[in-house]
Structure 1
Amino acid sequence: MNWLPDDFVHPTLIPLPGGGHHLRPIREADTPLDHPAVMGSRERLWSIYGEAWGWPAATMTYEADQADLLRHEKEIAAHESFNYALFDTAETALLGCVYIDPPEKVGADAEISWWVVDELVGGEVERDLDALVPQWIAADWPFTQPRFVGRGISWPDWLALPELPGA
């Protein structure tokens, strides 16, 4: 059973409120911007995603990140899962990511999480992203029970949920 309708077309450019930033599907070619963004915020990202995903490893090389982004790009094309990168208007800086994944745990039809680089934590761009993501998911995605992991449910509570059969 597919988690998305066969005729679903995923959004390709999502502006943040206030202008100056947007989301778009990540690509392998984004590695020169992604790697420093991830590794520059690695300690905090590990505190969020480490237990659940084992990411990002302290030793993540540029090549490993490039392979990871190629995998994401292929998953997006196949509608298996989605990774949207947060960019400034000119795409000179990758400033965070939004993950939209099929559910692994019972009680949801999608699992969504997101992050921004350390410099943006607590600031206007993070607040704009926090406001945008749930509205965007409700407006443009075919989910009836999206779960916002790390927002609507804590990561420890998510980890404690029962796994979906076959997940």
Structure 2
Amino acid sequence: MMKLRIARAGLALTLLAMAGAPAFADASSEPEAKAESASKPSFVAADFDVPTLVEAEGFKIVPLGPDLARIDFDAYMSSIEHLQKTFSRSPSWPHEGISDADAMLDMQTEQARFSKRTSFAYAVLTPDGLRERGCVYVYPSTVDGYDAVVRMWVTKAEYDAGFEAALYNWVTEWIEADWPFENVAYPGRSVDWQTWDALVAQNKARDAQ
């Protein structure tokens, strides 16, 4: 049993109204799935209390939102090349040209999706909440056999310190213990990228028929 103190959502979050723009995490191998998730029904049951604060040894996680725009921006902009290689696998995110307005829109979009329960994006913060060590994303799967997909990243400094492996191990235990999913994909980890990309392409081709 993980030694966690979990604050559960009892009331809906108060959110800004949003235009349907994709958040930065859409720059992944399956952007269509993430972009469409904002308009799809919830992929967790209405009576499931989505975690809004989880505290663990050396870090805590909270939902991404406008109040975290600056420290989130500072985190990913400190690790542009690292994240292009390890997370987005693309130069589309992050990149030097991201503006403060872009960063804020990303946070508003993620917050709106969290409120609609269509996907859940979390910041991984230091215990004092002053620095972001990385992020974790939980969203529906478009691949048959999986009911959820979990992605994550850490900054270059945290990666070099070995935190990525520690975070992955913790997240897999957290998802198994506290989320209602039967089969979860961790692309690039539990499923290698070549296999995952092929499965995504296969499902897209089937849906296009």
Query: Under a length normalisation based on structure 1, what TM-score does the superposition of the two structures give?
Result: 0.88
Partner of 2:153: 115
Give the Å deviation of 1:136: 0.4
Change (3 A) 1:53 1:133: farther
- Equivalent residue for 1:46, pick from 63, 81, 84: 84
User: What is the DSSP-based 3-state SS (H/G/I as helix, E as strand, rest coil) of the residue aligned with 1:46?
Assistant: helix
Partner of 2:55: 15
Deviations 1:125-151 (A, max 9, x none): 333312110110001111001101121
Q: Is the 8 A contact 2:123 2:134 kept in 1?
A: yes
Deviates more, 1:28-37 or 1:114-123: 114-123
Partner of 1:26: 64
Matched, 1:4 2:44: yes
**Percent of residue pairs identical:** 28
Say which one has the larger Rg: 2
Matched, 1:126 2:164: yes
Give the Å deviation of 1:93: 0.3
User: What is the DSSP-based 3-state SS (H/G/I as helix, E as strand, rest coil) of the residue aligned with 1:50?
Assistant: coil
Deviates more, 1:89-98 or 1:154-163: 154-163
1:101, 1:62 → 2: CA distance?
A: 25
Change (3 A) 1:137 1:52: farther
2:172, 2:90 → 1: CA distance?
A: 22
1:2, 1:122 → 2: CA distance?
A: 36
1:53, 1:155 → 2: CA distance?
A: 17
Change (3 A) 1:53 1:22: farther
Change (3 A) 1:159 1:59: farther
Name stretches of at least 5 consecutive residues in structure 1 with no aligned partner. Answer: none
Give the Å deviation of 1:52: 7.2
Give the Å deviation of 1:47: 1.5
Matched, 1:154 2:189: no
Give the Å deviation of 1:27: 1.0
1:99, 1:154 → 2: CA distance?
A: 18
Give the root-mean-square deviation of aligned CA atoms.
Answer: 2.1
Query: Under a length normalisation based on structure 2, what TM-score does the superposition of the two structures give?
Result: 0.71
List aligned pairs for 1:69-88, cutoff 5 A: 69-88=107-126
Q: How many residues end up aligned between the 2 structures?
A: 164
Partner of 1:59: 97
Q: Is the 8 A contact 1:75 1:82 kept in 2?
A: yes
Name stretches of at least 5 consecutive residues in structure 2 with no aligned partner. Answer: 1-40
